[in-house]
């Protein structure tokens, strides 16, 4: 009985001291490298572009936690997940320079890679899709925007400055 009361008390104390965050900061930096080559099959993209790039990246960039790659028709997408504390700007520069350095080893005519940085917190938190069979897309967009802006202003008045990225909206009309 005493043990149960002690566990209960420690649980209540721990719960009271636990910090809670609605939008936690996830500091896992990601560098994406996208190669494009029109008309090349996924098999050749993997063997001639993705594998060569992955080998070059692992031998030159410090702080790599893991890598993921996806070879599609005419496109190779390589995501480099970095360890916490790795300077993201330096990693982007290194991936860009590695891409420029291995261009000669890749198939003729391939363009330089598109390198960008991102993190898990860059993903929109909310997405709104609106559809109507009777209202035209332009009218639907205007109605949605006027109503949604009022709600967004209310959030600002409450002190919850929500960035526009969180308020990403998709209007679909089929």
Read off the CATH number of the domain in which 60 is found: 3.30.70.1430
In a domain, 104, yes or no: yes
Residues 47 and 118 occupy one common structural domain = yes
Q: State the pTM of this model.
A: 0.58
Indicate whether 76 and 158 sit together in one domain: no
What's the chain's Rg over C-alpha atoms? 24
* Overall size of the chain counted in residues: 174
- Residue pair 74/34 in contact (Cβ under 8 Å)? The answer is no
User: Are 95 and 49 found together in one domain?
Assistant: yes
Q: Is 16 among the domain residues?
A: no
- pLDDT score at 126: 61
pLDDT of the residue at 169: 40
Query: Residues 36, 112: one domain?
Result: yes
pLDDT by position in tens, the chain (length 174): 888 888 888 888 877 777 665 556 666 788 989 998 888 899 999 999 999 999 999 988 888 889 999 898 889 999 999 888 888 888 899 999 999 999 989 998 888 899 988 766 665 556 666 677 787 877 777 776 666 665 555 444 444 444 444 444 433 333
Q: How many domains does the chain have?
A: 2
Domain for residue 15, yes or no? no
Task: Give strand ranges (E) for the chain.
Answer: 29-36, 64-72, 75-82, 114-119, 128-130, 169-171
Q: What pLDDT shows up at residue 98?
A: 92
Can you give the pLDDT at residue 28? 76
| Predicted pLDDT of residue 171 | 36
Domain around 163: 128-171
Residue 111 shares a structural domain with residue 56 = yes
Domain co-membership, 39 together with 87: yes
Q: Can you give the pLDDT at residue 135?
A: 78
In a domain, 10, yes or no: no
Do 112 and 135 belong to one domain? no
């Amino acid at each position: 009985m005493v043990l149960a009361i002690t566990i209960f008390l420690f649980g209540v104390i721990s719960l009271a001291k636990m910090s809670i965050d609605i939008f936690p900061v996830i500091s896992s930096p990601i560098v994406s490298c996208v190669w494009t080559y029109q008309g090349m099959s996924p098999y050749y993209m993997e063997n001639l572009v993705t594998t060569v790039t992955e080998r070059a990246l692992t031998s030159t960039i410090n702080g790599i936690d893991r890598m993921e790659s996806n070879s599609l028709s005419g496109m190779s997408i390589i995501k480099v997940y970095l360890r916490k504390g790795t300077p993201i700007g330096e990693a982007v520069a290194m991936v860009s320079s590695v891409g420029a350095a291995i261009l000669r080893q890749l198939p003729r005519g391939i363009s330089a890679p598109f390198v960008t940085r991102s993190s898990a917190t860059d993903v929109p938190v909310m997405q709104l899709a609106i559809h109507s069979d009777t209202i035209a897309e332009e009218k639907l967009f205007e109605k949605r925007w006027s109503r949604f802006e009022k709600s967004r202003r209310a959030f600002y008045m409450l002190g919850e400055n929500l960035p526009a990225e969180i308020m990403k909206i998709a209007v679909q009309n089929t």
